[in-house]
Amino acid sequence: MANKSANKKTLSVYLYIPNIIGYIRVLMNIVAFARCFSDKKLFSVLYFISFICDGIDGWFARKFNQVSTFGAVLDMVTDRVSTACLLAVLSQIYRPGLVFLSLLALDVGSHWLQMYSTFLSGKVSHKDVKDSTNWLFKAYYGNRLFMAYCCVASENTNLKVLMML
């Protein structure tokens, strides 16, 4: 009986509102990147909506107490894949593309190091930096407005570079 209850709880995690938003983000990104070379305007709109949904899903997770490991991983992987695809597209448009591929390596590497150090220190979230000595980590993860500004500025810059063609 307990196993049936655990399976029902596990199934419900997949139907959490923030996770459904995550699935929609994945679908939007698939369509966006499938059309990125032929319809830049559609690509930009879908990519930007996906980006906005990235903030909304976290808000829903906290508001409805639907925080889950599955949702956190879905969100992080969707973010990394979206950024990686965008940088790969930019590296194909602007030659030589080494600067975009370097940014891709920096993005993946820095997130991997942050996540790995989080697990080694026994923390639950990579955003828990209250005991960090790094002022930049504290500023970025400790102030949601600053983090939002950095994310929006970065994505806006990437989309402007893409639209310049």
CATH number of the domain where residue 138 is located: 1.20.120.1760
Query: Taking 90 as the threshold, does the pLDDT of residue 113 lie above it?
Result: no
Q: How many domains does the chain have?
A: 1
Greater confidence (19 vs 10) lies with 19
Catalytic residue from among 54, 57, 79, 107: 79
Position 119 scores a pLDDT of 77
CA distance 10 to 35: 35
- 83 close to 104: Cβ distance less than 8 angstroms: yes
The model's pTM is 0.77
Respond yes or no: is residue 79 known to be catalytic.
yes
Residues whose CB is less than 8 angstroms from the CB of residue 152 and which lie 6 or more positions away in sequence, other chains included: 51
CA distance 16 to 22: 10
Query: Taking 90 as the threshold, does the pLDDT of residue 69 lie above it?
Result: no
Per-residue confidence band for 7, with pLDDT thresholds at 50, 70 and 90: low
CA distance 155 to 51: 8
Q: Of the ranges 19-23, 45-49, 157-161, which one carries the lowest mean pLDDT score?
A: 157-161
CA 90 from chain center: how many Å? 18
Average pLDDT over residues 78-89: 92
CA distance 135 to 82: 27
Query: Taking 90 as the threshold, does the pLDDT of residue 46 lie above it?
Result: yes
Q: How far is CA 9 from CA 15, 16, 21, 63, in A?
A: 10, 11, 19, 19
Q: 142 lies in which domain range?
A: 2-163
Average pLDDT over residues 70-99: 91
**Consecutive H or E run containing 39:** none
- 146 close to 135: Cβ distance less than 8 angstroms: no
Per-residue confidence band for 1, with pLDDT thresholds at 50, 70 and 90: low
Per-residue confidence band for 60, with pLDDT thresholds at 50, 70 and 90: very high
Closest CA to 71 of 112, 32, 17: 17
SS3 98: helix
Q: How confident is the model over 125-162, as pLDDT tens digits? A: 777 777 777 788 778 778 878 887 887 887 777 777 77
